[in-house]
Amino acid sequence: MGMARFLASRLLKGVVVLFAIAVLNFFLIRAAPGDPAAVMAGEAGAADAQFLQQLREQFGLDRSIPYQLGVYLKGYATLDLGYSYRQQRSVAAVVGERLPATLLLTGAAFIISLALGSLLGILAAARAGRWSDSLITTAALVFYATPLFWIALMSQIVFALKLGWVPNVGYETIGAHYTGLARALDIASHLVLPALTLGLFFTALYARMMRASMLEIAGADFIKTARAKGLRPSVITRRHIARNAILPIVTLAGLQAGQLVGGAVLTETVFAWPGIGRLMFEALVQRDYAVLLGVFFVCSAMVVLFNIVTDLVYRVADPRIEAA
Amino acid sequence: MGDTGTFLMQLWKKTASLALALALLGSASALAQTPKKGGVAQVIVTPEPPMLMQGLNQTGPTNMIAGNIYESMLRFDDKLQPMPSLAKSWKVSEDSKVFTFTLQDEVKWHDGKPFSADDVVFTLDKFLREVHPRWRPIVNNQVEKIEKTDDKTVVITMKQPFGPLLFAMEVASAPIIPKHLYEGTDYKNNPNNNTPIGTGPFKFKEWKKGSYIQLVRNPDYYLKDKPALDEVYYPFIPDAAARAVAYETGKVDVLTGGAVDIFDVPRLAKLPNTCMTTKGWEMFAPHAWITPNVRNGILGSKEFRQAMMYAIDRDFGKDVVWNGFGKIPTGPISSKTKFYSDNVKKYSYDPKKAKELVKASGYKGETIKFLGLPYGETWTRWAEAIKQNFADVGINMEIVTTDVPGWVQKTSNWDFDLTFNFLYQLGDPAIGVSRSYVSGNIAKGNPFGNVGGYSNPEADKLFADAAVAPTPEKRQELYTKVQQVLAEDLPVLWLLELEYPTIYRCNIKNLVTTGIGVNDGFRDAWKE
């Protein structure tokens, strides 16, 4: 299949998937008890029937479900994500405001985990059975199994409270009014704990997968042939084993990349990182349907997009896939 | 005791004397201190408010921040005595029917436009009448007319005597908003809602969603020596444990009530340069209880409700679950609220009596569903403790969990057997107490009405008469009577007068000076 045809076919499928997800999301969030008006009344500690009715009219909740669905789908067809009456702003503005922080956090965690995880996996496979292999695999298992929120809280207590090396929460020092390089460094210092916490889980995952994949490939016949030909072990590891072993990592990286925009609900919440993940959680608790649907849509679109990109990377990493 | 022991004892005495002298000197100098200009305060408010336009939104976080941007006619001290705010003086006619407010001079809105009586009349008669769920019943049922007699004087004439009106002049109940920005507009979608313009000591500067809100000093505030602080920041940190660490690392200066888990409070309060107060909640006087849905079978039985009351170890709840904060209530009116009386039937923890009443009520062991309040770990632990209390006297209780929207919907639609609730009393029973007990407030869709469904014509009449009785003495007589009626009937099971500690750096002075604490506290606060 030619590249253009392949792309067109995947994009078409992607649009169908996105439409189905959009409709499903619309009904799913309405299945949860309560609505935005009830939440605002609950928060206010004061309400009467007229107050609730005013809110429902404002949110458009007094209209029929098919009408609400129609307005929602019509908006999405023109890439209009709607309006959050709770925040009194367009959903695109709300989501757009949070996107950079999330991309910074998840991007940093992605790079840390992909680079470090793959490297540790290669190292462990190359020294299989030795103490360094045991150390890496044990550490990977521990970080893979430990709940993220516990690591997050413990890292705050150890590195922020006890050692005072980095700040425990937030995106930057509030009220410091830094600019330029000073601001960049300030943001970087706030990024350390959440990025490492989020990255640790995926680092462990990549390391375990890379090690297993490397060991599997190392036993293949073509590797024995390479050795018989007298190639240096480092060349065999780099050119023959690692390149073939990377395919599962590409799959996993594609999945992780698809979740970049979705952010990390837990990490962002515990570290007060002002990103999409936290926005999604808050919108869920507030039943802010417009924001929630907008975030879901953007996340779904990114997953679909990165699946397509992953398929493209496959074709580059392994020419046999293209031939097939 | 040897020489070393004697020496140590002398050293201890000298050190203690020196410490005492320094402490006395310190407190004397604190009294003599004059407020210092400048400084920044970082204040935790949680969760992030939906908006800062206080006329349209009265959530706790909105009030905590916007109470420093907007003002109302009056402020109230911790004894709930009125103090000047936008009104520099006020007069109540002898028959409590005519309220005359004289406004402050030289007040300006944050956009530089002059403030006048027109703003007050517009706010009270038009804006809040349309949008404010607490002001609306007052203005619709009690007020005959609101008018200005000149640019500095507003007169509110009531249909009948209505003493509680003054309490409705507090900033969360009646924030005064600018007529020139709101008249003739769609109030709820007015673009100024996102950049609030008030008359208060602080101006809105920036809201970085998900991160913080910044207020800056209003240089044109009509009290020339106030406020002292240059800026107040409200960072938003969703996790309670992270908020505690942020305080410990010095990132924030003030933890407002409820910002950290109650079990963390004693530890944080012992930190250096840390002060704690439970004052500043007198106007709200949050009153916690269990609402039985009296429509549901056995819960309609007074004996059974009394049995539940005797079964609950309320002291355990206060001392263990709430870490000793709060006070056991005697009835529907908090001891901090006007017209409280403890001359009512009392309920102490008495499992034996509870068992007798359970038997007498005809309870057959059916499961009673308890809808938990999703406001954090403390409420969950409290529900578990009560479940154990009930099990001890043979009452089967099952806890149902939900999130906040779910709780509001189920409570509003009477879909529960028992549920926790807590409401602000707002100074006067006519404003914050009667709403939970009068039969006229039994209506689906309102989680803060009479959701349990209790109906007693005698209580209805007493509440109605007490609200409009001509003298405080007569009001006290009627409110005492209604407290006695309700303590006998137990439409709800009162558990605790909640207390929310505010934790702050001791070098922030005058933080809590009124009955609403930090909600309007930064007018007077200054940093040493």
Whole-number mean pLDDT of chain A?
A: 87
| pLDDT confidence band for A320 (50 / 70 / 90) | low
pLDDT at A262: 66
Nearest to B405 among A89, A170, A287 (CB): A287
Question: Taking CB atoms and an 8 Å limit, are B239 and A160 in contact across chains?
Answer: no
CA-nearest residue to B448 within chain A is A46
| pLDDT confidence band for A47 (50 / 70 / 90) | low
Asked, for residue B313, whether it belongs to a domain, the answer is yes
Asked, for residue B484, whether it belongs to a domain, the answer is yes
Nearest to A34 among B59, B239, B409 (CB): B409
Residue A175 forms contact with B (CB below 8 Å): yes
Two tokens at B318?
């206060």
Rounded CA-CA distance B91/B93 in Å is 7
pLDDT at A1: 59
Q: In this model, does residue A263 exceed pLDDT 70?
A: no
Rounded CA-CA distance A114/A116 in Å is 6
B24-57 CB burial, b ≥16 within 10 A, e <16: eeeeeeeeeeebeeebebbbbbbebbbbbbbbbb
Q: Please tell me the distance in Å from B374's CA to the nearest CA on chain A.
A: 11
Residue B133 forms contact with A (CB below 8 Å): yes
Nearest to A44 among B59, B193, B405 (CB): B59
Asked, for residue B387, whether it belongs to a domain, the answer is yes
Q: Please tell me the distance in Å from A67's CA to the nearest CA on chain B.
A: 22
Dump the DSSP string for A161-226: IIS--S-SSSSS-TT----HHHHHHHHHHHHHHHHHHHHHHHHHHHHHHHHHHHHHHHTSHHHHHH
Question: What does the domain layout of chain A look like in residue ranges?
Answer: 100-267
pLDDT at A242: 84
Rounded CA-CA distance B184/B443 in Å is 32
pLDDT at B22: 43
Q: In this model, does residue A26 exceed pLDDT 70?
A: yes
Q: Please tell me the distance in Å from A209's CA to the nearest CA on chain B.
A: 33
Best residue in A62, A85, A88 for a mutation probing chain B (most B CBs within 10 Å): A88
pLDDT at B189: 84
Decide if A181 contacts A298 (C-beta within 8 A): no
pLDDT at B21: 44
Asked, for residue B308, whether it belongs to a domain, the answer is yes
Q: By percentage, how much of chain A surpasses pLDDT 90? A: 42
Question: Taking CB atoms and an 8 Å limit, are B245 and A156 in contact across chains?
Answer: yes
pLDDT at A45: 60
Q: In this model, does residue A93 exceed pLDDT 70?
A: yes
Over residues A64-89, mean pLDDT:
87
Count other Cβ atoms within 10 Å, centred on residue A149. 15
State the distance between the two ends of chain B, measured CA to CA, in whole angstroms: 45
pLDDT at A57: 83
Nearest to A34 among B134, B212, B406 (CB): B406
| pLDDT confidence band for A16 (50 / 70 / 90) | very high
CB contacts under 8 A, A 217-236 vs B, are none
Q: In this model, does residue A211 exceed pLDDT 80?
A: yes
Per-residue pLDDT reduced to its tens digit, B364-388: 999 999 999 988 889 999 999 999 9
> Among A71-85, A164-178, B275-289, where is mean pLDDT lowest?
A71-85
Residue B206 forms contact with A (CB below 8 Å): no
pLDDT at B41: 97
Over residues A138-143, mean pLDDT:
90
| pLDDT confidence band for A41 (50 / 70 / 90) | confident
pLDDT at B516: 94
Q: Which residues of chain B make contact with A281, given a CB cutoff of 8 A?
A: 238
Q: Which residues of chain B make contact with A49, given a CB cutoff of 8 A?
A: 443, 445-446
Two tokens at B449?
């009405």
CATH of the domain at B466: 3.10.105.10
pLDDT at A87: 81
CATH code assigned to A100-267: 1.10.3720.10
pLDDT at A319: 67
Domain that holds residue B396: 287-497
* Separation in Å, CA B50 to CA B60, B196, B261, B284, B448: 10, 13, 22, 21, 20
Two tokens at A7?
């792309």
pLDDT at A321: 63
The interface predicted TM-score (ipTM) is 0.83
Rounded CA-CA distance B140/B317 in Å is 40
Number of structural domains, chain B? 1
- Which positions of chain B have pLDDT values less than 70? 1-33
Asked, for residue B7, whether it belongs to a domain, the answer is no
Count other Cβ atoms within 10 Å, centred on residue A24. 12
Closest CA to B495 of B347, B384, B329: B329
pLDDT at B11: 41
Rounded CA-CA distance B404/B419 in Å is 13
Q: Please tell me the distance in Å from A93's CA to the nearest CA on chain B.
A: 11
CA-nearest residue to A177 within chain B is B214
Q: In this model, does residue A108 exceed pLDDT 50?
A: yes
Q: Which residue has the tokens 């999330």?
A: A102
Dump the DSSP string for A230-295: T--HHHIIIIIIIHHHHHHHHHHHHHHHHTTTT--HHHHHHTT--SHHHHHHHHHHHT-HHHHHHH
Q: In this model, does residue A186 exceed pLDDT 70?
A: yes
pTM to 2 decimals? 0.87
